[in-house]
A and B are shown apart, each in its own frame.
Chain A
């Protein structure tokens, strides 16, 4: 087979088009402003000249003979009757006019000075740095000379009037004059002003010929009524030709200078708006409907413009999008794909002697699921497989053909959820074709995607080449992304009920009969080898929840940590901790402690972290699969629900809370009295008013905390809300406090609420009332219900949060865009350093130690410690 490496574009050169170049590349000179004649045929030398390319299917291009889609289109040109200024360059033209002699067109600098700048520019170009500063200096210095150092001519002041006129003294400088001055400039001078005499001579900034873009660039649309609707650019070009013609006629008829100048101005206007319809000081050209035309600049600019919208953001085939939903029975590496999607997305399969039978079977099945949609013949023709021609194609199929077969189980696909803020927002999954209409994924992969199931949609991309599939399999599979490149910890792990489930299972001694114990572990991918029962009750053996968890741990796994229940007692009771906060796992056996978010949760799961780092990503993936299954069976075994009743607290507690709040209000009142009597001591560096506010906030904050403590004590560790909060599954003790006891102080910008009327927040209060109630303290809880005033303050505080979120997303989005743009080209070189595209060394050794953040634990003192103790055979903890 003939194989040539794909061609690469080496470089792209920018420059200005010279009139000669424009004429050379033109296939037709456009002279008539009309597009189509009465019969609907394009007019020769009109804007829709057939030589400019084809847009109608079926026709052939008059220039290259290609069909629509093959022919890229060809440029034409318009000869302008009089030269006009290019709006994009007016500022440069102005600077240049001021910097060159009006007589001899030399730069108003002596040759020595100029050469000095030329040298500077050359040096900067060599190290690929912008030359703008030097060029600015050249213009600045040259302008200072009022007498030409070359011919001695006195210079006059050049005035620039927006948008495109120039005056020398009182005299108007017409584009013809400007052009003739620029024409006389010599190459060295041109270089010194930052231009390139070969690719961009200054006089080319004055347009005498206008290129007419091919029709493919400005296709006309045929409306349903059969009427043609032209593109905005065509409209603008029509205007230009019309004026050009009128100008020509008037000039030939010997019209007065005034009229000629007016027409010139008009031509300038049309060319200006053709190039940019948003120039300051120029009324934008409008469509008949009043909508401003979208001309050249507008096409390129902005988020939806050519650059950001079409060139940097490309559309792809072989992708699918639908709603996501959870499926705890899938592995983290899998994704459930609806049958409908699996029959639509295809993977190309090259027919070889080894797989021809398999391919034939796919073709035979056609649109029935593991089937195929198209075959590609060796000559490149695609044939759709239909029920009618399937057998026929099967007969013809031979090596060299390509069968586009359906997505089937085990295929590797990319799965993505926007916003793609970090690398794990796109990961590779294995396909599992399932009935239904949604994509399904394991709950443990929600954190990296930041997905939930309140209607989220996700995208899926079917990989088309074996190289891509292999690369995705090795680098992008979910299990390879368990560790976050951001901080080197696991970002895939248990959430919500996973945490609750394992917490219920491992907290305290939960007893299971043999049947229940096996039931728990039934779905897990483990070697079933029942451990010794933990004990006997009524002569029947029982096993504990801790044993169940131990079953899914690797056999030689050991760890010791304190979980989230730890109260940070002054003296740790270690194994005897009554909170089950001291977790010890020895040789794959959970000896004591409860498993909570700190053990297996996403972002902080220590057990998870150690398994990925000490074993392998496959082991970690298996562990995650197992514990998600175990935890769900466990939570189903115990049963777990949460309702309003769970927030009940009894009368004594209610009374206590009321008392605590009343006391706090008293203290606030006393503070206010002290303030009014001038007895309040200001805190260092604060005014008395600020001190008062701080003290009040502090007092009320304390009150809410102690109210929460009372409520928390009431509910105890059997309360489902408390279980969730303490295990880290969901919610916090603060949420509980707010529901059951007291919502607390509402704030705006970290201060008590002050806005409203003069000296008071609401007309319900007296002016100058500084009390708790008058400034947004909500003493009731959500369950009891808020008073109208409290409700109002709560809404004020709540809105701040909403505004905050809205502002933050846009701000951080822009920050990320800037960061990515600034850093995207950096790459680690083979020498371990980091260099940018200019070749400048950013870091001699990445991160100063050359270590990958995600693997940094392998180059840490802890690892050395464990290696040393392993080799020496002593426990270093005891040695040191």
Chain B
């Protein structure tokens, strides 16, 4: 008799195998239409196969993961810039990008946000949101020149450029006035804005020009470019920006990603950035961890290198176990090791030893380097397996005790 889906699910449910395997097991069994006896046979063999595939205890997975990521590094190219999925945006790729990810850089060289919309089908809406995100500076909407005779700055805006950016001259005027009201007098005349510094000097004039050029009239500051792309059947926004994440975040300061997320049309659940530290700041450590895995995998895959995810997950997990993203290297994971000898053997030898001296540190020789240094077998792999010998007398005693108890 062919079993129903429910009963198959019921017998599969309790198995100690990963969820994905359970799902495909149910699927195939349902398709094939199995009987109880067949299902039992299948489960037995699947369990055997899974048991065989399981990693063996004491395996030095850390070293293997490090090698699996480091070894292909030699085959990676250095070409820094090239387009990824989006032709218009440059992305750091190859070895420099991999180093950037593992270094947990606070300001990666090419941060890109991938912005998904709640309603991704609407191209016009996408355009509108894009305008809301991309920073509009003066250079986008007009030109600026200084009139030395009049000691003033003249801004000529273009009607077309303004409407393209979804702005009116009045809003531009308002923003400008708010930004520099304590430094200059701003006058509006048709499409022309004249700015006179309150202190008429050549220097203040030049400073003012610089200031005005830096004003963001619309959009999010530091977002230099937004590109709309159709992916599958929805429009996706890619935003190129700059952001340096900070050690301790103040509550008022919003990162560019947070600003994007606060736009109502944006689907916050699917929007992300390749800036790992910002991911950690905005979404938390778990998101950062996934971001590391994803970014590293993408970088390697783009180079045509095949590395198992498990290795990268291990690296990402070691970088994030302590609840903050730590770099691979002396300022992160390696610098915070418990062992003095391991730290000294890595980098900044003398400092670590001097410090260990004043702190009165104790090295309990748990790790690899420490044991290599003192010349002992390393507690890893086959070095972690011991023969435990119990004198025969004690076994007898123990057995006797048990017998007495029962």
Contact = CB atoms under 8 A, between A and B. Distances in A.
Interface of A: 8-16, 88-89, 92, 128-131, 194-196, 198-200, 205, 276, 297, 300-302, 305, 307-308, 311-312, 314, 421-423, 471, 475, 485-489, 683-686, 749-750, 804, 807-809, 811-813, 815-816, 818-830, 832, 834, 836-838, 840-843, 846-853, 855-859, 861, 863-865, 867-869, 871-872, 874, 876, 879-880
A828 B345 contact: no
Given A194-B359, A819-B315, A848 B18 contact: yes
A872 B38 contact: yes
Interface of B: 17-18, 20-21, 24-25, 28-29, 31-34, 38, 41-42, 45-46, 49-50, 52-74, 76-82, 87-89, 95, 98-99, 102, 225, 227, 306-311, 313-315, 317-318, 321-322, 328-330, 332-334, 336-342, 344-346, 349-350, 353-354, 356-369, 372-376, 380-382, 384
A858 B50 contact: yes
Contact of A823 (B62, B309, B359): B62
Contacts of B20: 849, 861
A89 B359 CA distance: 12
Contact of A305 (B54, B321, B349): B349
B151 to A, nearest CB: 34
Contacts of A836: 318, 321
A10 B364 contact: yes
Nearest to B310: A847
Contacts of B99: 811, 815
A824 B63 contact: yes
A840 B319 CA distance: 12
A813 B380 CA distance: 24
A828 B349 contact: no
Given A683-B88, A846-B310, A867 B337 contact: no
A819 B46 CA distance: 35
Contacts of A809: 74
Given A205-B358, A815-B98, A868-B42, A822 B334 contact: yes
B333 A879 contact: no
A849 B66 CA distance: 19
A488 B307 CA distance: 9
Given A827-B380, A828-B57, A486 B88 contact: no
A196 B359 contact: yes
Given A826-B61, A852-B56, 5 more contacts: A130-B336, A301-B349, A750-B79, A820-B63, A823-B315
Contact of A750 (B81, B89, B314, B341): B81
Contact of A300 (B227, B350, B367): B350
A694 to B, nearest CB: 9
B366 A200 contact: no
B42, B99, B357 pick with most chain A CB within 10 angstroms = B357
Given A851-B54, A871-B41, A827 B62 contact: yes
A868 B330 CA distance: 51
A279 to B, nearest CB: 11
Nearest to B86: A685
Contact of A92 (B66, B328, B358, B376): B358
B78 A867 contact: no
A611 B340 CA distance: 47
A750 B225 CA distance: 22
A807 B314 contact: no
10 contacts: A307-B345, A422-B67, A686-B88, A749-B79, A807-B78, A813-B74, A822-B318, A853-B308, A855-B53, A871-B41
8 A-B pairs closest in CB distance: A196-B360, A826-B62, A816-B70, A847-B310, A812-B73, A823-B62, A685-B88, A199-B360
A305 B333 CA distance: 23
A869 B337 contact: no
A11 to B, nearest CB: 5
A63 to B, nearest CB: 25
Contacts of A843: 313-314, 317
A859 B60 CA distance: 21
A9, A302, A879 pick with most chain B CB within 10 angstroms = A9
Nearest to B372: A312
Contacts of A823: 62-63, 65-66, 314-315, 318, 333
Given A196-B360, A865-B28, A876-B32, A827 B338 contact: no
Contacts of B82: 750
